[in-house]
Amino acid sequence: MNLSTNKAQELRDKISQTEEELQDLRRQLVELESPVPDPSAEQESTSALDRENPVDTIPEWKWPLKEDEYSRYARQLILPTVGIRGQLRLKSTAVLVIGAGGLGCPAAAYLAGAGVGTLGVVDGDTVEASNLHRQIAHSTSRVGMMKVDSLIEYCRGLNPNVPYAPHREHLTPQNAESIVSKYDVVLDCTDHPTSRYLISDICVLLQKPLVSASALRTDGQLIVLNNPPTAQGSKEGGPCYRCVFPKPPPADSVVSCGEGGILGPVVGVMGVLQALETIKLIAAGIKEEINSTPKEKVTPSLLLFSATSTTSFRSIRMRSRRPDCFACSSKSTLTLKELHSGSLDYVQFCGVTTPVNVLKPEERITATEYNAILAKQLDKTHLLLDVREKEHFDIGSISGAVNVPFSTLQSRGKSITNGERLELEYIPDTLPPDAAIYVVCRVGNDSQLVTQKLKEMGLDKNGGRFIGDIKGGMQAWKREVDNTMPFT
Ligand SMILES: [Zn+2]
């Protein structure tokens, strides 16, 4: 055993040493092959320009793109949508990608490949292993690295000609103006309503078109906002995020125990579409339109994608700007000064998500206490209701737990109000009327609501039966009792 361990270590050392040598050789080769500016050659060319008849000199490069760019972009240059004009527009446009995650990775990669002028990336997070199934520009070896740096490294590998600008921080009301003002087009690749409203507001104030997308579970949506990006109060401008979604979704629906599922290709599709819309906008001349009258009226539309529906894509026509929009209408009082001062509280606006706290201390037990009940075979005939979604439950659960997802309880709320159906469906006939019911969920929020509901339904037999939840849910169980519990 020791022998093979030593041998394996020896091999690992040898591999890393060889890899270092290989890297060094590659570096030497790159240095050798890269053209070194020759001062005498430059002198010659300057003096050649001075000559009256420069016939015997190498012809001057007279085309608008660099030589290698013609071959790099050859396949898009010959498309009517792009053409040489579109390519030059791309090359002179600075694009900002906010969020280097599931949407930002494919979006930035395609924009880098297409040859935008400058590509800025904003994100304050680092790469985690759980990101990799969908955030395809990162890699296992870059876990722990700033996402911005990881994404830029990937894009630079695709296209080293593009200047990249890292912004290693989250967008805030304080830094939004100084970051966004440097760009011509903005992509919202974030995943929370708080940032969506902030990004939309700054784009309205600075008159930047905004390509916004989102994805959750198996669905996605995409919309090009503030297009054309005319001044606040102008009826010619495209709607902003607040015109389409004047009110944020309920805070509870944003962060809940059941949250978090996402299929990699779904968010990938949406990110790719964001890049596509951005390229179309730029190639069509949005940058030139910002300072002039728009060529034609754009009809805003919301594109919906569903991976599970028979019609994968649906497009919904949207209205133009709302006459009473908080941000972009003539009634708006939103200013850069106000935004910068922090008087607009985006977190507050989107609802504060505080942990649920509806149960009394005596109605809750710790994971350790529940483990003691199990270990000592106390309370043998109790019922443990696990209210996580089935997929979470299937990955790992406490032995003997019965799975009744919170969503099932919610959707059948009406039919179970009298308690009869629930008793018949989920509570085994063999459970004595005085046997305790414990409820567990992912982090201990849903379990409280279920406990409360079961009591309201009279299942506690007027105090004859204990109903309570496990504080901190399966997260606490993993921490306190069984750290092998697979947990997502
Ligand atoms: Zn608006």
Specify the CATH superfamily of domain 92-349. Answer: NAD(P)-binding Rossmann-like Domain (3.40.50.720)
Q: How far is the CA of 328 from the centre of ligand 1 (A)?
A: 4
Tell me how far apart the alpha carbons of residues 384 and 382 are, in angstroms, rounded to a whole number: 7
pLDDT of 38 over the 50 cut: no
**Could you check whether the bond before residue 239 is cis, i.e. omega within 30 degrees of 0?**
no
Catalytic annotation present for 325: no
Whether 289 has a pLDDT exceeding 80, the answer reads: no
Segments making up each domain of the chain, as ranges: 92-349, 361-480
DSSP-H helix ranges across 92-240: 104-114, 147-158, 176-180, 193-206
pLDDT tens digits, 212-233: 999 988 999 999 999 999 999 9
Helix (H) or strand (E) holding 64: none
Q: How far apart are CA 208 and CA 212, in angstroms?
A: 12
User: At residue 488, does pLDDT exceed 60?
Assistant: no
Q: At what angle do helices 367-375 and 473-480 cross, to 10 degrees?
A: 70
Cα 424 to ligand 1 centroid, rounded to whole Å: 51
Domain made up of 361-480: CATH architecture: 3-Layer(aba) Sandwich (3.40)
Judge whether 61 and 86 are in contact, CB under 8 Å. no
With beta carbons less than 8 A apart as the criterion, state whether 305 and 224 touch.
no
Beta bridge partners of 212: 188, 223
The 10s digit of each residue's pLDDT in 469-479 is 999 999 999 99
C-alpha 264/C-alpha 101 separation (Å) is: 11
Centre of ligand 1 to C-alpha 351, Å, is 20
Between 431 and 294, residue with greater pLDDT: 431
pLDDT of residue 49: 46
Residue 353 φ then ψ, to 5°: -95, 90
Of residues 416 and 283, the one with the higher pLDDT is 283
122 Cα: distance to centroid of ligand 1 (angstroms): 24
Is the confidence at residue 198, as pLDDT, over 90?
yes
Q: Angle CA(156)–CA(100)–CA(336) in degrees, nearest 5?
A: 110
Q: Can you tell me the distance from the alpha carbon of 472 to that of 367, in angstroms, rounded to the nearest whole number?
A: 8
Q: Is 257 one of the annotated active-site residues of the chain? A: yes
CA distance 488 to 472: 15
Query: What's the CA-to-centroid distance between 454 and ligand 1, angstroms?
Result: 44
Q: What is the pLDDT of residues 435-464, one digit of tens each?
A: 899 999 988 888 998 898 888 888 888 888
Q: Pick the catalytic residue: 155, 257, 325, 350? A: 257
Q: How far is the CA of 244 from the centre of ligand 1 (A)?
A: 7
Cα of 194 vs centre of ligand 1, distance in Å, is: 16
Distance 459 CA to ligand 1 centre (A): 49
In the block, which residue shows the tokens 């040489």? 84
In angstroms, the Cα distances linking 33 to 26, 28, 29, 70 are 10, 9, 6, 21
Rg (CA), the chain: 29
Query: Among residues 105, 240, 350, 441, which one is catalytic?
Result: 441
Is 135:101 a contact under the CB 8 Å cutoff? yes
- Residue 354, pLDDT score: 64
Quote the mean pLDDT of the chain.
Answer: 85
Distance of CA 157 to the CA centre of its chain: 22
Longest dimension (CA), the chain: 108
Dihedral of CA 119/245/412/398: which sign? positive
Chain segment 330-368, per-residue pLDDT in tens:
999 999 999 998 888 888 777 766 667 888 899 999 999
